[in-house]
Structure 1
Amino acid sequence: MNWDRFNDLKIELNDLQRENLIKYKNILQEENKIHNLTAIVEDQEIIDKHFYDSLIFTNVFNPEGLSILDIGTGAGFPGLVLKIIFPKAKIYLLESNGKKINFLNKVIQELDLKDVWTLNERAEEYSLDNKEKFDVIISRAMAPLNILLEVGVQALKVDGTFICLKAKNVNNEIQDLNGQEKKLGLMLEQRQELQDDVLGERNNLFYKKQKVTPSEYPRLYSQIRKRPLGK
């Protein structure tokens, strides 16, 4: 297995971090035989397309020591990877699928990770009950921007950062949003773009929360789906 790509992110893996990533990979491969957790199953592919991809944004944003909510974490990307690499971060893994929550708990227990919690809830419901709790909200390819930002924004502190890890077609999502992130109190502050030989196109968006989100957001999920922001 080749870890050289991590040098591009100025991440020098210590022995414990490398050991934990390998354990994580092994558990993922074993559990994936029973539960459909990922279509990416080869050793190097997991390292490149899950682990490395989860960390690209850290080239321009340091998550160490921050409270982070990972919305729709799935098999733990990027949240669990962040916990392994940035141990002082406090990570909350939000996932509505109970089987994936069980998998995440297994990884956390076997790697003996601290200050990381799993949340088996829906994003729009959790954010309403936990307003302005987190320094960072992050999500990797969970939903279009005009849905994702609305369901999660209430849980973000004012001056916090909403990080959306995206691949291609992000310009279409930005166009569909049509500037309506301002209604949520958000402003697009930074965009990280790169073209990678293995991963293809990557676009990571960083929204700053400038003010308190109005109480009418998020709407019921049925309403959000029927008429997303910008439509």
Structure 2
Amino acid sequence: MRIKYADMINDFKALGIELSDKQLAQFDKYYELLIKWNEVMNLTAITEFDSVCKLHFVDSISAYKYFDFSKDDYSLIDVGTGAGFPGIPLKIVFPKLKITLLDSLNKRLNFLNEVIDELGLNNEGSIVTLHGRAEDYSSIGNKDSLRETFDIAVSRAVANLSTLSEYCLPYVKVGGRFIAYKSEKAGEELSKAKGAIHLLGGKLIDSPEFVLPDSEYSRTICIIEKKEKTSKQYPRKAGVPSKKPLS
């Protein structure tokens, strides 16, 4: 197992993480299930082993360089989790996290529930899946609202930062963090999103640009602190944040 994952092990070491044999076995099972389910539904266009390790597994943990997920038993929501990135890798590496995986497609959640069961991810801090759009569970009127109940919101979803902030910041407690994974340098996007972040009660506190270990893949991690409660008017109705991003 360690020979098979030698490159990934080194990448994690570069991030300051030593993977146990149990964690390697969990990543191996995750990869196996990802490829199996991807044959019957669209989970990822990236399927080659080394690429999945680098661009999904290592990338999902890369924010650890700038935020210590192991510091506390944080509650975390992964908004638009898709195939489980970054939520599942974060859970494997930091098992005490209490994670909610939110996605709008039930078929993806069926996959994630099998991953959770097969990897035994509920053995320490809890991990659950939740079906719905990003706007559904953070609105004032929803009786099942999870508004401002999480220490951390994360997202690797493909959307501009203004839209992602409206999706994610309403879920975060005052004093918590929204961590957005961007797959490229994001200076211009950050500039355009500053007004939206302020409107939603947040403040950008860091936006490091870096390259994934032993690669040429540029990344930006945007770390936004929740400074005050989000106004009741946000998020707007489903579909509006993506069609008309705040400025």
The two structures share one fold, judged by TM-score above 0.5:
yes
Indicate if the aligned counterparts of 2:185 and 2:219 stay in contact, CA closer than 8 A: no
The aligned residue for residue 133 of structure 2 is 122
Aligned 8 A contact 2:56 2:85 in 1:
yes
Alignment partner, residue 42 of structure 1: 48
Q: CA deviation at 1:93?
A: 0.3
Q: TM-score, normalised by structure 2?
A: 0.89
3-state SS of 1:221 partner? coil
Counterpart-to-counterpart distance in 1, 2:157 and 2:237:
21
Contact 1:187 1:207 in 2 (8 A): yes
Deviation at 1:199, TM superposition (A): 5.2
In the TM superposition, residue 27 of structure 1 has moved relative to its aligned partner by: 0.7
Please report how far the alpha carbon of residue 192 of structure 1 lies from its aligned counterpart in structure 2 after TM superposition.
Answer: 1.8
1:125 partner amino acid: D
Alignment match, 1:33: 39
| Maintained 8 Å contact 1:72/1:142 | no
In percent, how many aligned pairs have the same letter?
Answer: 40
Q: What is the rounded CA distance, in whole Å, between the counterparts of 1:113 and 1:180 in structure 2? A: 35
Q: Residue 169 of structure 1: CA displacement?
A: 4.9
1:4 is matched with 10
**What is the CA distance between 1:178 and its match in structure 2?**
4.5
- Secondary structure at 1:179's aligned position in 2? helix
Which of residues 99, 105, 129 is equivalent to 1:97? Answer: 105
Cα deviation 1:131-155 (Å, max 9, x = unaligned)? 1110000001332111111122211
Paired residue for 1:202? Answer: 219
The answer to whether the 8 A contact 1:133-1:155 is kept is yes
Q: Which moved more, 1:12-21 or 1:146-155?
A: 146-155
Number of aligned residue pairs: give it. 230
Q: Report 1:204-219 matches (<5 A).
A: 204-219=221-236
Deviates more, 1:190-199 or 1:25-34: 190-199
Alignment RMSD (CA, Å): 1.4
Mark the runs of 5 or more structure 2 residues left unpaired by the alignment.
140-144
> 190-199 or 27-36, which moves further after superposition?
190-199
Gaps of 5+ in 1: none
CA distance, structure 2, for counterparts of residue 140 and residue 225 of structure 1: 15
Partner of 2:67: 61
1:223 aligns with 2:240: yes
Matched to 1:18, the amino acid is: L
Separation in structure 2 between the aligned mates of residue 109 and residue 88 of structure 1, nearest angstrom: 16
- TM-score, normalisation: structure 1: 0.95
Distance 1:177 1:60 in 2: 20
Identify the residue that residue 86 of structure 1 maps to in structure 2: 94
